Amino acid sequence: MTSAFIVSATAPVTGILLSLHWLRLTIRQPVRWDIARSLIGFGGWLGLAKVITTVTNRLDIQIVLLYVGTATAGIYSVATRLVNFYPIIITSFVSVIATRLASVTDSGQLRIFVRKIIFAQLLLAGVCYLAFLLPGR
C-alpha cells in the first residue's frame, strides 16, 4: 500500500520534470497564456471525464464475493460489465470533444455546442438503453 501511494504521489512530478528536461524547457521562459489556457481547459474536461468514470466504476468483485456469496457476485459481475458499457462510450465521446470545448471562446458558441453535446449524449444513452432492452424480448 505504501509503495502504491509513493508511486501515485511521485509520478506526476516525475512526468513534469522529465518533460521539462526532454523538451529542453526552462521555467524562466515566458508563458504563452493562450496556450496555457487551452491546455488547462483541455485538462479540465479530461479530468472531469475521469472523475465521472471513476465514480461510476464498479465495486471490486472480490469484496462482493466475501459479503454475499458466489451466485450473487456472479450476477453482480455480469450486471456491472453491462452497465459500464455506457460510461466507457460517454468517456470516449467526452475525450474527443474536449479539444473543441477547450478552444471555444464565445459564450454563444459554447451554449450551442453544449446543446449539441447533450443531444448526442441523450442519443447515445437511448441507443444503449434500446440495445439492452431488445435482446431480452
17-40 confidence digits (pLDDT tens): 888 788 776 667 677 777 777 778
* AA letter at 25: L
| Residue 4 pLDDT > 80 | no
| CA atoms within 13 A of residue 79's CA, in its CB half-sphere | 9
**95 three-class SS:** helix
Give per-residue pLDDT as tens, 69-95: 888 888 877 777 777 777 777 778 877
Distance CA 19, CA 75 (A): 45
| Residue 57 pLDDT > 70 | no
Cell of 8: 501515485
What lies within 8 Å, CB to CB, of 53 at 6+ separation is: 87, 88, 91
Distance CA 92, CA 46 (A): 10
| Residue 11 pLDDT > 70 | yes
pTM for this entry: 0.41
Give per-residue pLDDT as tens, 101-133: 778 888 888 888 888 888 888 888 788 778 777
pLDDT at 60: 65
